[in-house]
Structure 1
Amino acid sequence: MLRESQTAVVARNETWTGSCATEPFEAGWAQEAIFFVRALKAGTGQACQAHVEISPDGMRWVREGGVVELPVQDGDGVAFVRVAHFGNWLRLAADLPHDASRTLLVTLHLK
Structure 2
Amino acid sequence: MKNFQASAVERRITVTHDFASHPMEAGWASEAIFFIIVEEVSGAQATLETSVEISADGINWIDEGTSFAAIHSPGHYAAKVSHFGNWLRVHGKITGTNPAFKLSVHLHLKG
With the shorter chain as reference, the TM-score category is 0.7 to 0.9
Task: Kindly report which structure 2 residues correspond to 1:1-111, keeping only aligned pairs within 5 A, or say none.
Answer: 2-44=1-43, 45-68=45-68, 69-70=70-71, 72-73=73-74, 76=75, 78-97=76-95, 99=97, 100-111=99-110
Cα deviation, 1:35-87, whole Å, max 9, x if unaligned, reads 011112233333321010000111000000111133522xx3x1100001110
Unpaired stretches in structure 2, ≥5 consecutive residues = none
TM-score (norm: length of structure 2): 0.88
Unpaired stretches in structure 1, ≥5 consecutive residues = none
Over 3 Å counting, the alpha-carbon distance change for 1:71 and 1:36 in structure 2 is: farther
**Alpha carbons 1:53, 1:64 under 8 Å: kept:** yes
What stretches of structure 1 move > 4 A for 4+ residues in a row? none
For this pair of structures, how many residues does the alignment match? 107
1:9 and 1:23 mapped to 2: Cα distance? 10
TM-score (norm: length of structure 1): 0.88
2:80 and 2:21 mapped to 1: Cα distance? 16
1:71 and 1:79 mapped to 2: Cα distance? 11
2:72 and 2:108 mapped to 1: Cα distance? 19
**RMSD (Å), alpha carbons:** 1.5
1:23 and 1:60 mapped to 2: Cα distance? 13
